[in-house]
Each structure stands twice: as structure tokens, then as C-alpha cells.
Amino acid sequence: MCVKLSAGGNKMAGKEFLKSIELNFKQAVKFLNINKTENNLTDDLADQIMKANSTYLVRFGVRLRNKVFTFQGYRSVHSDHFEPVKGGIRYDLDVNQEEVEALAALMTYKCSLVEVPFGGSKGGLIIDPKEWSAKELEKITRRFTQELAKRDLIHPSQNVPAPDVGTGEREMAWMADEYRRLYPTDLNAWACVTGKPVSKGGIAGRTEATGRGIKYALNAFFDSKIDLEKTGLSPGLNGKRVIIQGLGNVGYHAALFLSQEDGAKITHVLERGGAIINEKGIDILRLRDHIVQSGSIEGFPGFIDKGPELLEADADILIPAAMELVITDENAERIKAPLIIEAANGPISSNADKILNKNNKIIIPDLYANAGGVTVSYFEWIKNLSRIRFGRLQRRAQENQLSSLINGIETITKEKFSDEFKKELVKGDSELDLVRSGLEDTMRTTYDVISTRWNSDKNIPDLRTAAMMVSITRIASTYSTLGI
């Protein structure tokens, strides 16, 4: 088998992506500078915040298939104004330094925005995971972990990786296990990475978290009358036509929850190798089963051999949920959906952003929209440090209290609740209930903060600028109390 080992990833796209993030940053700084009195931001401090603090490039050899393969990986630390720094590790052939730095910067802004006390970081390995068996991937991942550990780039109090494109629970479990082998007496070793399986120190609800966060973000948006009006859409998600680009972990969960819980109609799913169209709404569970069994979307009812041009299809909501820069000045003018929510990191270039704004499209930006993942990572990290499952102490006490209350009501009213209703009513909160509650609260509270900022000044052009302004103000204030 011929194994592709690209040596530098897609550098051009990485440069473009980094430039886009920096332009977004500068735009927000421009508006903050107009209101100088309400922040501590000087131009030199803004410049210090914007640039990555450090980026580590590592090459390491792994003996596989009777020869030594050299892999190239990165871990960038964008800002360590809070530690540990946090962010995923991506396995993809297009990984490159600029991309990793852009993604690390986004992590800084994201964590600050949702008040998760981490700095921003990101890592990547230039690899096509599909080219390797699980055993080989495990060996590669363990070697990468050793290299990161040498420089504290995986460490419970310094730098905590998580899943990203091309990685998941399995890779995080290998990383955690390797770290524990290197530091067997470290009581906090499990907290060296998040997104682990529940059986290996993970938390209920982490896998679905980013997709569920998208649903909560849309719920918050639709509850904001003033913002919804700007799209011309009618109230309520029920029946809204949705295009999903990318049915990976994030796209799948967002599509599933929006269709099952909110009644939205997923009319288009765009994937590698084609798309599915069904104006009545695609059955996401069945489609996912089909992909798992056959390895592609081909053969599923509604299959069509079309690609990115379907981003321009008629719909109410467009959800790019795969990679960066899928909407650029090439196609932005033709996008029809009035509302776009960025489930992926950086799917819209800064030029495209301008075109979409000019065409009155509303964009719920990545640094807010997909922050559900890192929010639940934060809960997992706390769980690992405290070494107790959320809800373990209070669940039965809560159930006993609720039972007494129900019994009291029955005694006073001389009426009986049905057994089924009673069972539902007295159910104490499981870890999953608490995680979802914390995530929903984070997404809703944060939306209100961004929206208030946006609507407070008619010159602030969009939600992205408002979100960046909130985020940068907080980072600047942390920096100035650090006394640099």
C-alpha cells in the first residue's frame, strides 16, 4: 500500500486561515479602540495577544511495516494568560504550522468568551488516519505523546489536548494511558487530556457536546426576537430547512438533535463523495448507520453526485461542520440561507464574511457556536481533578427530597400521581443531566452577552465582531492584572 506522508500540509490554506482570524481580531480591536475608556487595551498589548506565543514542531520516527516512517507534528500555544492551555489535536494530511496557530488563537478567544479558565492551544499531526490500522495508529499516537510530554505540551496543569478532526475518544485514551505510564505517581494524570471514553476517566456527554452546543446556540438565537428579526425567519426551529456540510462527530450530533428535539428538517447533507437531498427531511440516524456500514453516503435514498455547490442551495439555516475556508469570495455571493452557524472552526474566510454581511446574512460565529466541546472538556478536567463523578453525592438525596415533597402533596390533596409521572418527577440528576444543564447554561448566558454587545452599538457590524470584543476585553483585563 502506498502511504501518503505530506511534508508540510496545505500551507496556502493555513496562511489564509490565519490571516482571516487576525483580520477578525483587528476589526474587533478597532471597535474597542473607539470606546477606549471601557477596556485596558493598548495597541502593543493587542499585538501581543494576537500572535501565538510559541509553536513546537516535532519530527519523530516510528518503526512500522519493517521500516521507519517519519511523522511531523505541531503543538502551538497561543496564549497562556490562563493555564493549562487547551485545545484539540488534529490528524490530517493538510495540517501545517499556520493552520495550527490559527486554531490555537481561536481556542484562546473561545475559552475567554464562554468563561472557561484556559489559555488557547492546538496540535496536529500530518497523517491520513485511514491509511493506518488501529494498532499502527496507537503506536504513532503513543510516540507523539512521548514527544509532547518531554516539553510539558501534554500536562494536567500546563497543556491539555482533546479530540479534533481525525481524532476521538480512542486516541485520547491512548494519550492518557501513555502519559500515566510516563508519570505513574501523578495523582492528576487522567486530567492530562479530555475527550476520553467514560470508562477511562471521561465524562458523560463529551462526545455529543459540540453538536449539542450548536443546538443550544440556535435555541438561544431563535429566542432573541431582535436578532431573529434580522434574518427574516419566522419564530421557532420547527420545520426550518437545514443544510449540514460534514457528518462527522459535530455535524452528526447537531443534525440529530436539531431534527429529533427541535423539529428542524435536515434537507441537505454534504459529505465527501456526494450529498443527500430530501426536502421532507433526512433520517439522520439511518444515514449515519448507512455510512458506518458501507463507508460512504452512496446508495442512500436521495443520493446525488454533487459537492460544495450545494452550500448555495435554498434553505433557512446553513451549518458548515467540517473544515476551514469552505465559504470564500468564490461562493459567498451565491449563498442563499439567511442564517449561517459555524459548527467548524473558521469555515468562512474574512473576505467571504464581508460579502455575506453586505448581503444581510447573519453568522453565528465559531468562537461561540462550537464552544460546547471545550466547555464540557472543562467539566471533564474538573471531574478528573476532583476524582468523583458529578451527581454522585447529591443524586439520592435529591430523589429523597423530591419523594417527600410528592408524598406531602398527595397527603394534603388526597390525590395520587400516576406511578409513571411520579417516577419521572423524583428522578435525581445524573452526570449527563448535569453536563447538559451546564452546557445549556453556558451557551445561553454567553449568547445574551454577545447579543447585548451587538445591539448596544449600531456600528458593530456583526455577531463575530461583538463576540471577539467581549473575548478580547476579558483577555486584556487578565493580562493587565498579570502585570506584564
DSSP character at residue 300: S
What minimum distance in Å lies between the beta carbon of 301 and ligand GLU? 32
Q: Is 54 strand, coil or helix?
A: strand
Per rule CB under 6 A, is residue 86 in the interface with ligand GLU? yes
Per rule CB under 6 A, is residue 350 in the interface with ligand GLU? no
DSSP H or E segment with residue 470: helix 463-482
User: Cα angle at 411 between 407 and 413, to 5 degrees?
Assistant: 115
- The question of whether 122 is a catalytic residue gets the answer yes
- In the sheet that holds 159-163, the strands lie side by side as 54-64, 67-79, 119-126, 85-92, 159-163
Closest CB to ligand GLU belongs to which residue?
88
Q: Which is nearer to ligand GLU, 162 or 434 (CB)?
A: 162
Count of residues near ligand GLU by CB under 6 A: 11
Q: How far is CA 169 from the centre of its chain?
A: 15
What minimum distance in Å lies between the beta carbon of 197 and ligand GLU? 15
Q: Which is nearer to ligand GLU, 35 or 157 (CB)?
A: 157
Per rule CB under 6 A, is residue 377 in the interface with ligand GLU? yes
From residue 78, give the alpha-carbon distance in Å to each of 52, 281, 335.
4, 41, 32
What residues between 88 and 107 interact with ligand GLU by CB under 6 A?
88
Stretch that binds ligand GLU, among 24-32, 140-148, 369-377, 458-466 (CB under 6 A): 369-377
What minimum distance in Å lies between the beta carbon of 112 and ligand GLU? 13
Q: Which is nearer to ligand GLU, 105 or 374 (CB)?
A: 374
C-alpha cell at 278: 430530501
Residue pair 474/111 in contact by the 8 Å Cβ criterion: no
Per rule CB under 6 A, is residue 177 in the interface with ligand GLU? no
Residues 6+ apart with CB under 8 A from 182: 146, 149
Per rule CB under 6 A, is residue 374 in the interface with ligand GLU? yes
Q: Which is nearer to ligand GLU, 162 or 325 (CB)?
A: 162
Residue pair 61/145 in contact by the 8 Å Cβ criterion: no
78, 373, 454, 470: residue in contact with ligand GLU (rule CB under 6 A): 373
Q: Which residues of 136-173 are buried (b: 16+ CB within 10 A; e: fewer)?
A: bbbbbbbbbbebbbeeebbbbebbbbbbbbbbbbbbbb
What residues between 178 and 237 interact with ligand GLU by CB under 6 A?
194
Stretch that binds ligand GLU, among 224-232, 324-332, 348-356, 370-378 (CB under 6 A): 370-378
Per rule CB under 6 A, is residue 155 in the interface with ligand GLU? no
87, 120, 156, 248: residue in contact with ligand GLU (rule CB under 6 A): 87
What minimum distance in Å lies between the beta carbon of 201 and ligand GLU? 14
Q: Which is nearer to ligand GLU, 72 or 345 (CB)?
A: 345
Per rule CB under 6 A, is residue 347 in the interface with ligand GLU? no
Q: Which of 112, 90, 32 is nearest to 324 (CA)?
A: 90
Q: Is 193 strand, coil or helix?
A: coil
Cα–Cα distance for residue pair 157/99, rounded to 1 Å:
25
Burial class (CB in 10 A: 0-12, 13-18, 19+), 295: exposed
The one-letter code for the residue type at 408 is G
The one-letter code for the residue type at 332 is A
Per rule CB under 6 A, is residue 471 in the interface with ligand GLU? no
Q: Which of 86, 110, 122, 196 is catalytic?
A: 122
Side-chain-side CA neighbours of 145 within 13 Å: the count stands at 25
Per rule CB under 6 A, is residue 241 in the interface with ligand GLU? no
Q: Which is nearer to ligand GLU, 258 or 374 (CB)?
A: 374
Per rule CB under 6 A, is residue 345 in the interface with ligand GLU? yes
Residues belonging to the active site? 122
